[in-house]
Amino acid sequence: MAQHAETSQTKRPWLFRLILPLVIVGVAIAAFMALKASRPEPPRAAPEERAWLIDTQVVEPSRRHPVLTLYGEVTNPDRLTVRAPLSARVETVPVENGASVDKGTLLVALDSRDFQPVLDRARANLADLEAQIRQAEASHETDRAALALEREIVANAETALARNRDLRQRNLASQADVDAARDALSQARLSLNTRRERLATFDARLAGLEARRDAAAADVAAARRDLDRAQVTAPADGLVGPVEVTAGALVNTNAALLDFFPWAGFELRALIPGSRVGTISAALTDGNAPEARVRENGLALRLARLAGEASGEGMTGLFEFTATNHSLRVGQVLTVELELPAVDDAVAIPRSALYGNDHLYRIRDGRLERVRIERLGAAADTDETGQGQLLVRAPGLSAGDRIATTQLPNAVDGLKVRWQDGASETAAE
C-alpha cells in the first residue's frame, strides 16, 4: 500500500504541468474575446459612386462636305509602246527608264540602212508600173488609128474575093486564086476583130495597171513611213518607261523597244463603295464633278467618270489630275480623299467618340446617354491634336449638347462621369 501511495504522488506533478498551459491559453482567449466584445463599434462609411474623368466636346451641327477615303492605283491609258516596224539594228537609245522628256525628244533610232532597200524596191516597182501605163495608153492611140486602116483592108479583101469569084465563073481565074482571096479576107477580118477586142478591153487593162500602180504607191508610202519610224521622237511631254533594247541590238519586226507615258495621260483608278455610287453618280450627272486630293502629297484630282463595269464591292472611279506632277508613276497606290456633296446637320467628332459603328454617348446630368448616329464620312479638317475627324448626323443631337470623346471600356447608359471644362474640373453630382 505504501508503495502504491508513493507512485500516485509521483504522477501528480506531471499531470499538473500538462494541464496548466492549456488553462493559461484558455484564459487568454476568453479575455481577448471579452475585450473584443466590449470595444465600441466604429461608424459605417457610406459607399460613394465613382465619377469617371473624361474628355468632352460640345456639338455644333452645320452644313459640311463629308470626305470619302479611297485607295487608288495610278494608271496611264495613253501609254505608248514603241515597236520596230521592220527587222533592223538599233542605232542609238539616248534616253533611260524614268527620264522626263519634252515633246520632240529622240527616244530611239534604228539603222536607216535596213530600211532604204525596201524603199528603193518599192519605188522601182512604182516606176515600172507607171511606164506600163504610159505604154498602154500609147498602144491604145495606135490601135484607134489602125482600126480605120484595117476596115479598109477588109473592104478591099471583100472586093478582091468577089472579083476572083466572077473571073472563076468565066474561067478567067483558077480556083486557087479564089481560095487565096478568101484567105486574105479571113486574115483581114481576124486582124480587125483583134484590134476591136484590144480597144474594147483597154479600159479594163488600164484599170488593172492603175490598181497595181496604186498598190506600188502604197508600198512606197509604207516604206517611207517605216523609214521615218526608224527614228522615234516623243509625241508629247512625258515619262520614259521600261527600255527593252540597247544600241547595236538586232530586233525583229514588231519587237517592243520602249514604253512612253505622256504626262497628260496619267489618271487614278479607285474603287468607290456601292453605298456611295448613287450619290456620286447623281453629282456627275448634274455636272458637279466631285473634287479630291491625294493625302500623301496634296495633289488635286477631279472625278472624271465612272467605269463601265461594276462589281459586288462597288464601281471604279476614274480620276484626272488637275496639274502635271513629275512624281507620278504607273502602279503607284495613293490614298485619295474624295469630297462628297454637302449635307446638313453634320457634326464633326473625333474617332475616339465613336462606339461600335453607329453610336456615341451624350452627357445628361453628369451621366452617359447612348445616342445612335449615322456615319457620313470623314471630315476634311482635323482636331487640335492633328487627328482626323468623322462627320456624323443624329436626330437626337442638338447644338450645345456635350458628348464624351474618351473611349471608356465600361461605357454604359447611366455611367457617372466628370470632365475638364476650361481651367477647372467639373464633377457632375
End-to-end CA distance of the chain: 91
- Above 70 in pLDDT, residue 72? yes
Strand ranges (DSSP E) for 1-86? 52-54, 56-58, 62-64, 67-75, 80-83
Q: What is the mean pLDDT of residues 406-427?
A: 74
pTM recorded for the entire structure: 0.65
| Residue 41 pLDDT | 63
| The CATH homologous superfamily of the domain defined by 67-76+263-339 | Efflux pump adaptor protein, beta barrel domain (2.40.30.170)
Reported as a single tens digit per residue, the pLDDT across 316-339 is 999 999 998 899 999 999 999 998
Strands 374-382 and 256-262, bridge-based pairing: unpaired
| Residue 203 pLDDT | 85
- Above 70 in pLDDT, residue 3? no
| Residue 138 pLDDT | 87
- Above 70 in pLDDT, residue 4? no
Choice between 156 and 330, residue whose per-residue pLDDT is larger: 330
Q: What is the mean pLDDT of residues 130-137?
A: 89
Q: What is the mean pLDDT of the chain?
A: 84
- Above 60 in pLDDT, residue 272? yes
Closest CA to 378 of 97, 145, 66, 131: 66
| Residue 44 pLDDT | 61
**Correct CATH for 54-66+342-427 of 1.25.40, 1.10.150, 1.10.287, 2.40.420:** 2.40.420
- Above 70 in pLDDT, residue 39? no
Lowest mean pLDDT among 74-78, 99-103, 173-177: 173-177
- Above 60 in pLDDT, residue 190? yes
Choice between 45 and 134, residue whose per-residue pLDDT is larger: 134
Q: What angle do CA 205, 211, 217 make, to 5 degrees?
A: 140
